[in-house]
Amino acid sequence: MATKIISIRVSKKDTKIQKIKAREILDSRGNPTVEVDVYTKSHMAREQVPSGASTGIHEALELRDGGKRYNGQGVLKAVKHVNTKIFRKIKGMDLRKPAMIDKTMVDLDGTDNKSKLGANAILGVSLACHRLSAYVQGKKLYSLLGGKNIMPTPHFNIINGGKHAANKISIQEFMIAPRAKSFSEQLRMGSEIYHDLKKSIINKYGSINANVGDEGGFAPNLNKTKDALDLIMKSIEDLGHGKKVNIAMDVAASEFYNSKTKKYTMEGKKIKSEKLLNYYDDLVKNYPIISVEDPFDQDDYANFSEFTKLMKKRKVQVVGDDLLVTNINRVKMAMEKKMCNALLLKVNQVGTVSEAIAAAKFAMRKNWKVMVSHRSGETTSNFISDLAVGLGCGQIKSGAPCRGERMSKYNRLLQIEEGLGKRAKY
């Protein structure tokens, strides 16, 4: 169980860190990751760290062991840092001040990308401390993370491509964003479309093409982007959802960009940025696409700006992921150059909950949109569900309505919605 609270007795004075225990576990792809338990005298909270497949070069460093063990992916070094250096530094600190704990760890590391201790080591402690902080204060986690109580619209990744699947589709994620009066209705619509899509794929391409990718979306052996979009539109229309469902795409263009030739490989063809921009614009004109993430390489600033200018006319949000890596300094840089208008928030890209919240709040103050996101290598932790509600950003993506590590986030949102009752905002 990823998200865990154990209470032995209740004491309002019991707010100081007494013990930390980290261990190496496996994520949803079967690769090692870090799990951290943080204790006061009477309470304990447990959290787990996710990991990405298509990672930006500007992300905080995920410390791996190297060597032959687990194909070099072991995290025993990060675990040791938690159990020794980090614990010694933050022992006795007050959990009611989680931002101070985060800053102490960042200062202890002392590098720009957390390469000394590892972002995975620091984040595991940060997540668990924030969760335990809410508990010892008698608060809901989402209230500690902002408390706006706005339920997010889910973006379900129902067809996988790129690095998340073994097919020929260049674009990494094709998502649906149902519109309804409640989150529970949005989840129902997403599930219905997902299952109808499975039937369509089997009928047209055979059952082997109904296998799923890393994030639970189907990974049929398609060659063209439009084939994927047409499959999705058919299921939306067959179920009578029509104009109630929009489409979002995570292109992850850095994964098919050649920095030497300055060209992108889309559907097996090497094309220049200008042609790729026109390609996206054609898709937006012909499908109900409301969001495009990482349409160009993370360092292709000029084309990000040109695309954002065009999409403003189309009323489509342009989301920065590899471009921004949840780093407030890169968000500021992107704002100055007008390279996008929405932040994809991934806590493990920056390494602490406090830094992720700071980047999100800054973006929203500047009238940007924010979408809280999972990673492809996930755990059953549901922390980001509370984060999305607390920030009040209105958007979350956590993969398909399938697989336990994805459903843990969506099911947590159902619990939050039920708990808020009439106080829930949409």
Q: Which two tokens stand for residue 203?
A: 């009928």
Question: For the whole prediction, is pTM greater than 0.75?
Answer: yes
Q: pLDDT at position 168, please? A: 81
Tokens of residue 59, six digits: 């992300």
Q: Where in the chain is the domain with CATH 3.20.20.120?
A: 144-423
Residue 163 pLDDT: 77
| Mean pLDDT for the chain overall | 94
Residue 352 has pLDDT above 60, yes or no: yes
Please tell me the distance from the alpha carbon of residue 132 to that of residue 14, in angstroms, as a whole number: 11
Q: Give the whole-angstrom CA distance, residue 334 versus residue 58.
A: 14
- Give the active site residue among 35, 47, 59, 215: 215
Mean pLDDT lowest among 48-57, 202-211, 382-391: 48-57
Q: Which pair of structure tokens corresponds to residue 48?
A: 């787990």
Amino acid at residue number 421: G
Cβ density class 115-149: b for 16+ within 10 Å, e for less:
eebbbbbbbbbbbbbbbbbbbbeeebbbebbbeeb
Q: Is the pLDDT score of 216 beyond 60?
A: yes
Task: Write down the pLDDT at residue 23.
Answer: 98
Rounded CA gap, 259 and 250, in Å?
A: 20
Confidence bin at 264 (pLDDT 50/70/90): very high
Handedness of CA 194, 196, 197, 199 (dihedral sign): positive
State residue 162's pLDDT score.
83
* Start and end residues for every CATH 3.30.390.10 domain found in the chain: 4-139
Helix H segments across 26-118? 76-81, 87-90, 98-109
CATH architecture of 144-423: Alpha-Beta Barrel (3.20)
Question: Between β-strands 289-293 and 269-271, what pairing exists: parallel, antiparallel or unpaired?
Answer: unpaired
Closest CA to 393 of 184, 71, 150, 147: 150
Distance of CA 45 to the CA centre of its chain: 22
- Residue 143 pLDDT more than 50? yes
Mean pLDDT of 252-274: 94
pLDDT digits (tens, 9 = 90+) for 323-333: 999 999 999 99
pLDDT of 129 above 60: yes
57: its two tokens: 């070069």
85 noted as active-site residue: no
What pLDDT, on the 0 to 100 scale, is given for residue 194? 98
- Average pLDDT (62-78) is 97
Q: Rounded distance, CA 215 to CA 53, Å?
A: 11
Locus of tokens 């398909």: 400
pLDDT in tens, 158-194: 999 887 677 789 999 999 999 999 999 999 999 999 9
Asked if residues 405 and 378 have their Cβ atoms less than 8 Å apart, the reply is yes
Burial 8-29 (b: 16+ CB within 10 A, else e): eeeeeebbbbeebebbbeebbe
How far apart (Å, rounded) are the C-alpha atoms in residues 18 and 405? 30
How many whole angstroms separate alpha carbon 109 and alpha carbon 372? Answer: 26
pLDDT of residue 3: 58
Would you say 3 and 381 are in contact if contact means Cβ atoms under 8 Å apart? Answer: yes
Within 23-83, where are the H helices? 76-81
pLDDT for res 4: 61
What is d(CA 297, CA 304) in angstroms, rounded to the nearest whole number?
8
**pLDDT score of 8 more than 50:** no
| CATH class assigned to 4-139 | alpha beta
Nearest C-alpha neighbor of 250 from the set 54, 10, 18, 82: 54
Cα distance between residue 221 and residue 209, in whole Å: 6
Q: Which of 285, 292, 372, 296 lies closest to 337 in space, CA to CA?
A: 296
**Cα dihedral 200, 201, 202, 206 in deg (nearest 10):** 140
Of 114, 198, 346, 409, which one is the catalytic site residue? 346
- 346 catalytic per annotation: yes
